[in-house]
Structure 1
Amino acid sequence: MSDTIHIQIDRADGSLQRLIGLVERRGFHIDGMSLSDEGAMRRVQMQVRGRDDGRCTENLGRQIDKLIGATRVGYTASTQSYGAAA
C-alpha cells in the first residue's frame, strides 16, 4: 500500500539525489515518482511504501522537511488525505 508525498525542492545540483537517498535510508521503497519544473523549484510527487509495517510515512515527511532545499507541501495516504500549505 503506497502513500503519496508532495514535495517542493530546489533545482540545485544533487538535490533530487539527496531526497531519494533520504527516502531509501529511512526504510522506504519508491514505487513511483513524477517531476515538474516550476522556475527555480521542482515539484515532486513520490509514491512510497515502508519496507515493513513499522515504517510511518508521517515520520518520513518530517525528515523531508528537515532536508535543506526541500519542503513537504502535501501528503495523500492510501485511505485519507492531508495537506499542508508551504
Structure 2
Amino acid sequence: MTGRLIIDFRPEEGAVPRIVGLVERRGFELRGISMTGRSPSASLTLEVAPRDVSRRLDLLNRQLRRLDGVSQVSFFSPPVSAIA
C-alpha cells in the first residue's frame, strides 16, 4: 500500500538526505518527492511504498518525528476500498 508523508523540518545542511535515508533504511521505496519552503522551515512531501507487508506508515511516522530538525509529520494512506 502506497502512502504520502508530509514532513515539516528545518532545511539545514544534510536534512533531506537524512530524512530520505531513514525512509529507505526502514524498508520503504521512494516513489516521488517534492519540497516547498525555505529557511527557517520547509516541507518535504514523499510518496512511498513498503518493500514488504510488515512495514507500517505509523511506525515510520514516529521514527521521522524523532529526527533532529523535524517539527511535524503527517501521513496519508489510501482507503482500503481505493486499493481494490
TM-score range, shorter chain: 0.7 to 0.9
Deviation per CA, 1:50-70: give whole Å up to 9, x if none: 100110011000000000101
Q: If you compute each CA radius of gyration, which structure gives the higher value, 1 or 2?
A: 2
Q: What residue number does 2:79 align with?
A: 79
- Tell me, which stretches of 5 or more residues in structure 1 are unaligned? 81-86
Alpha carbons of 1:24 and 1:73: their partners in 2 closer, same or farther (altered >3 Å)?
A: closer
Q: TM-score by structure 1 length?
A: 0.85
Structure having greater relative contact order (Cα 8 Å, sep ≥ 6): 2
1:31 and 1:48 in contact (8 A); partners too: yes
2:8 matched to 1:11? no
Query: How many percent of aligned residue pairs carry the same amino acid?
Result: 30
- Tell me, which stretches of 5 or more residues in structure 2 are unaligned? none
Runs of 4+ in 1 over 6 A off after TM superposition: none
2:64 and 2:73 in contact (8 A); partners too: no
**Between Structure 1 and Structure 2, how many residues are aligned?**
80
Higher-helix-fraction structure: 2
Query: Hey, what's the Cα distance between the residues in 2 that align with 1:51 and 1:73?
Result: 21
Deviation at 1:79, TM superposition (A): 1.2
1:6 and 1:75 in contact (8 A); partners too: yes
Q: TM-score by structure 2 length?
A: 0.87
Deviation at 1:18, TM superposition (A): 0.3
Give the RMSD, CA atoms, in angstroms. 1.4
Q: Select between 15-24 and 71-80 the one with higher mean Cα deviation.
A: 71-80
Deviation per CA, 1:3-34: give whole Å up to 9, x if none: 00111011100000100110011010011011
